[in-house]
Structure 1
Amino acid sequence: MFVEFLRENKIVAGVLALIRVYLGYSWLTSGWGKVTGGTFDAGGFIQGAIGKASGDHPAVQGWWASFLETVALPGANAFTFMVMWGEVLVGLALILGLFTNFAALMGILMNFAFIFSGTVSTNGQMVLLTAFILIAGYNAGRFGLDRYVIPFIRNKFNNRKGNEKQVLANV
C-alpha cells in the first residue's frame, strides 16, 4: 500500500522532486569541487580506509579492506576519475530528473562504498532519501525529463519489438 502510494501519487511526485533536486545538488557540488579543485586523489582516501580496518574496533570490514587493497588501490587513478565524474553525472541526472532510477542507483552505490570505507558524513541520510526515490520508480522522475524521455524510449522499444514480430511472421 505504501509502495503504491509512493509510485502513483502526484503530490508525492512533487515531494520526491524536491528530494531528488536536493540529492542532485549535493552530488553535483561535491563532484564539481573535486573536478575543478585539482587536488582530489582517491588513493589517499583508499589508504585511509584500509588503515581503518585494523585495531580493536575497526571501522572498515576486512573483506572491504581486501577489495580496496587488491583492486581499488592499484586502480586509484581510475577510481579518482570515476568518483569525480560519477558524482557530477549523478548530480546532473537527479537535478534534471533524467534516468532518475539509474542515477539514484549509482548514487546509492557510491554512498554505500563511502560508508563501507568508514566515512559517515551525510551518506546515511543520502541512502535513506535515495531509497525512497528507488522505491517510487518512475514517479520520482515524473516532474523531470523522465516524463518525456521514458515514454519516448518505451515507444521506440515497443515499435522495434512490433517490427521484429512482423518480420518473423513474414518468414
Structure 2
Amino acid sequence: MVIKFLKENIYASYGLLVLRFYLGWSWLQAGWGKIAGGNFDSSGFLKGAIKNASGDHPAVQSWWADFINHFALPNAGLFNVLVPWGEFLVGLGLILGIFTTFAVLMGLVMNFSYMFSGTTSTNPQMVLMGMLILAAGLNAGRIGVDRWVIPVINKKILKKEDQENFLQAT
C-alpha cells in the first residue's frame, strides 16, 4: 500500500521532490566542496578505515578492509576523482530529477561505502531518504527532467525490441 502510494500518487511526487532537493543539495554541497577545494585526498580516510578493522570491536569488516587495502588505497588517485564528482553528479541528478533512480542508487552505494568504512555521520538518514526515493521509482522524477527523458528512452528501447523481434521472426 505504501509502495503503491509512493510509485503512483501525484501528491507523493511532491513530497519526493522535497526529499530529492534536500538529499540532492546535501550531495551537491559535499561534492562541490571537494572539487572547489582542489586538494581532496581520499588516502587518509582509507587508511583510517583500515585502522578501524582491528581491535576487540572493529568498526570495519575484514573483507572491506582487504578491499580498501588491496584496491582502493593503491588506486587512491582514481578515488580522488570519483568521490567528489560522484557526489556532485548524484546531487545534480537528484535536484534536476534526471535519471533519478540511478542517481539515488549511486548515492546509496556511496553511503554504504562510507558506512562500511566505519563512519556514521548523516549516512543512515541519507540511506533512509534514498530508499524512499528508490522505492518510488519513476514517480520520484515525475516533477523533473525524467518526465521528458524517460519516455524518450523507453520509446527507443521499445523500437530496439521490435527490431529484434522482427529479426527473430524472419
Report the TM-score when normalising by structure 2.
Answer: 0.95
Aligned residue number for residue 21 of structure 2: 21
Secondary structure class of the residue paired with 2:74: coil
Q: Which amino acid aligns with 2:90?
A: V
Of stretches 6-15 and 55-64 in structure 1, the one that deviates more from structure 2 is: 55-64
1:140 is aligned to: 140
Deviation at 1:56, TM superposition (A): 1.7
Question: Deviation per CA, 1:35-63, whole angstroms, max 9, x where unpaired?
Answer: 11012101111001111111122111111
Task: Note the C-alpha offset of 1:168.
Answer: 5.0
Aligned counterpart, 1:81 = 81
Q: Separation in 2 of the partners of 1:53 and 1:40?
A: 23
Q: Report the 3-state secondary structure (helix = DSSP H, G, I; strand = E; otherwise coil) of the residue aligned with 2:139.
A: helix
Code of the aligned partner of 2:80: T
Q: Distance in 1 between matches of 2:72 and 2:21?
A: 30
- 1:30 equivalent to 2:11? Answer no
Cα deviation for residue 162 of structure 1 reads 2.5
Partner SS state of residue 118, structure 1: coil
What is the CA–CA distance in structure 2 between the aligned matches of 1:156 and 1:112, rounded to whole Å?
Answer: 33
Q: Secondary structure at the match of 1:58?
A: coil
- State the match for 2:4 in structure 1: 4
Corresponding residue number in structure 1 for 2:100: 100
Deviation at 1:20, TM superposition (A): 0.6
**Residue range with higher mean Cα deviation, 63-72 or 151-160:** 151-160
Matched residue pairs, number?
170
Structure 1: segments with no counterpart, 5+ residues: none
User: CA shift at 1:100, angstroms?
Assistant: 0.3
- What is the deviation of 1:159? 2.3
- Match of residue 155 from structure 2: 155
Structure 1 position 167, deviation (Å): 5.1
* Shift in Å, 1:164: 3.9
Partner residue, 1:114: 114
**Separation (CA, whole Å) in 1 of partners of 2:64 and 2:23:** 26
Structure 2: distance between partners of 1:164 and 1:59: 50
Tell me which amino acid in the other structure corresponds to 2:96: L
Structure-2 separation of matches of 1:24 and 1:72: 25
**Identity in percent:** 56
Structure 2 unaligned residues grouped into runs of 5+:
none
CA distance in 1, matches of 2:56, 2:167: 66
Q: CA deviation at 1:165?
A: 3.5
- Cα distance in 1, alignment partners of residues 67 and 166 from structure 2: 49
Instruction: Report the counterpart of residue 129 of structure 1 in structure 2.
Output: 129
Give me the CA root mean square deviation.
1.2
Residues 166 and 55 of structure 1, relative CA distance in 2, 3 Å threshold: closer
Query: Deviation above 2 Å: which 4+ runs of structure 1?
Result: 159-169
So what's the TM-score if we normalise by structure 1? 0.95
Cα distance between partner residues in 2 of 1:158 and 1:7: 22
